[in-house]
Structure 1
Amino acid sequence: MKRYLAATALALCTAGLADAADNDVAADVDPAAGLRSDWALQITPYMWATGLDGAISPFRRGPRLQVEKSFSDVMDDLNFGGFINIWGRYDRFVLSGDVMYVNTTDSKATGPLPALQIPGLAAIPAGANIDADVDTREFMATLQGGYRIIDTPELTLDALGGARFWYISNDVLVTASHPILGRISASHEESFGWVDPVIGARLFVNLTDKLSLQGQVDIGGFGVGSDLTWSALATVNYTFTDNLSVSAGYKVLDVDYDQDGHVFDTRLSGPVLGLTYRF
């Protein structure tokens, strides 16, 4: 059951993107170019070797499960994962899009539990042991627009604002074992989602013609969707050609959602490696 969110960690790890939070691994690879052109567009697939830490519930008002997984643990549960980031600019106006999709399967045993109601099963008395297979599909997209408030050959700074969309679907096969009830099983499918407003900024520093640094942060939720969500990304970027660059760094994505009996309180963190193609 704990695997319910390892799905997200894993998607990060497969080729895809660097933002779960909605950050681009290597945005304007050459800030000076921004002074010579009215527009720029780039696509960044990347890998995120992330671990997972937090608490989740696989269904409404289900047990709150603590999750602590390393990157290798996350990979063991992965069925499919993809992550991609798109960054665009016209004059001083910027647009950032980040999409993640992950599918994982996790098998867990929990018990003895206090009395609880499991969808598809009668109320389970205290002391029951629960075995569960959880197939989780997670989709997250962050869309932000903004304005470049500083634009020089050495440094650019963008102010950003937008929304982060979450959609999580779980197929749960539950078997309850109890001295009185014996063994009973049921399957249950449940999905939920929410939208978080986010605000943020991105800083890009050009060190040489080939080497640059980037930092991007955002914060949001504010009780509208989740109680709080934030992300931070820092990378070192190296430009091979006018169209191609590589980035390496570290990323953190945190969300605390607890609404209507659903719990999704997790933090993903780990190194990132991305490849950017610039049009």
Structure 2
Amino acid sequence: MTKKLFKSLTIVLCLFSTLTNLSGQEKQELDSLWNDWNFRISPYFWFIGLEGTIYRPPQPANYPIPPPPQYDIDVGFKDIKNSIKFALMLAGQYRNKHLVAQFNYSALILESEAITPFELVLQDNIVKLTYMAGDLGVGYRIIKNPKFEFEGLIGMKFLYFKIDLRTNLLGIVPIDGNRSKFWIDPVIATNLRYRPHRKIEFAGYADFGPPFPDNINSYQAIISAKYLFTKTFMIALGYRTYHLDFPRDEAIFNGNVKGWYMKIGFQF
């Protein structure tokens, strides 16, 4: 009787162990399937804000009094949303077993009416700020297990700022002025991803531009939380900050371009 009971228990334990292993293997294969992608393309919208200093605003010809040498600004998205004339934001990534390549691009044009102390002399004062920036990186997938991934990248990023001022002298004579700056710099960067569940992913990105040889400091950081509705379609919420520090005689804007963002992504 004891031998028969022992034999029955052994069979039950073996069946339970087999079913558990099969279930675990099936779950692991399913998780792996949701993370089995090579391309991601993600249109997004950045609820952008500006905190810093604008240096040497443009001075139109015949301007009666020179503008101040700098303006300190601290505006959030709610302050500038009505001034947005154009916005385009896109991110993409490719990866294989060992390598990764990615890009980020954002463009924004703001235009608003400026109120000046010389309103009786200068009328219809329109200020337009154009911002375009992007980064491109390639790197190696250093850690790539199903739960945690770490990648190191090298690449470049660029920035274009332009400020235009249009006005009318005495409401009759149109005058305008502008200043612009284009900058490109090498960067080193990292990607981090943590997947506690096949449908949930937490990600982080950071890059740093060395201050040599142009004496310009820059860095960027992005954090996000993604939810995959299907193996192809996802949505992400995150926060992004882009810091710039140019020498004052070259600068148009120094400070942080920052804000929350929402991204819609497709992977395949």
TM-score by length of 1: 0.71
Q: Note if 1:160 corresponds to 2:153.
A: yes
Per the alignment, do residues 103 and 50 of structure 1 end up closer, same or farther by CA in structure 2, a change over 3 Å counting?
closer
Q: Letter of the aligned partner of 1:106 in structure 2?
A: S
Q: Note if 1:256 corresponds to 2:262.
A: no
1:169 corresponds in structure 2 to 162
Match of 2:175 among 176, 183, 186: 186
Per the alignment, do residues 85 and 35 of structure 1 end up closer, same or farther by CA in structure 2, a change over 3 Å counting?
closer
Q: Letter of the aligned partner of 2:51 in structure 1?
A: D
2:87 corresponds in structure 1 to 81
**Secondary structure, aligned partner of 2:230:** coil
Match of 2:194 among 178, 181, 205: 205
Q: Letter of the aligned partner of 1:202 in structure 2?
A: N
Per the alignment, do residues 59 and 160 of structure 1 end up closer, same or farther by CA in structure 2, a change over 3 Å counting?
farther
CA-to-aligned-CA distance 1:194-237 (integer Å, 9 cap, x gap): 11222111110110121121111111151445621111111111
Aligned-residue identity in percent: 23
CA-to-aligned-CA distance 1:92-136 (integer Å, 9 cap, x gap): 111111111111113324569xxxxxxxxxxxxxxx999842222
Q: Letter of the aligned partner of 1:43 in structure 2?
A: I
Per the alignment, do residues 47 and 270 of structure 1 end up closer, same or farther by CA in structure 2, a change over 3 Å counting?
same
1:140 corresponds in structure 2 to 133
Q: Note if 1:104 corresponds to 2:110.
A: yes
Q: Note if 1:53 corresponds to 2:51.
A: yes
Is contact 2:51–2:75 with CA below 8 Å preserved after alignment?
Answer: yes
**Secondary structure, aligned partner of 2:185:** strand
Runs of 4+ in 1 over 4 A off after TM superposition: 33-36, 128-132, 174-177, 223-226
Q: Letter of the aligned partner of 1:265 in structure 2?
A: N
TM-score by length of 2: 0.74
Match of 1:232 among 221, 242, 259: 221
Structure 1: runs of 5+ lacking an equivalent:
1-29, 113-127, 178-182
CA-to-aligned-CA distance 1:4-48 (integer Å, 9 cap, x gap): xxxxxxxxxxxxxxxxxxxxxxxxxx9845986xx7111111122
**Secondary structure, aligned partner of 1:106:** strand
Structure 2: runs of 5+ lacking an equivalent:
1-29, 60-65
Partners of 1:84 and 1:215 in 2: CA distance: 17
Partners of 1:168 and 1:91 in 2: CA distance: 38
1:115 corresponds in structure 2 to none
2:206 corresponds in structure 1 to 217
Q: Higher Cα Rg: structure 1 or 2? A: 2
Match of 2:71 among 53, 59, 65: 65
Give the length in aligned residue pairs.
228
Q: Letter of the aligned partner of 2:266 in structure 1?
A: Y
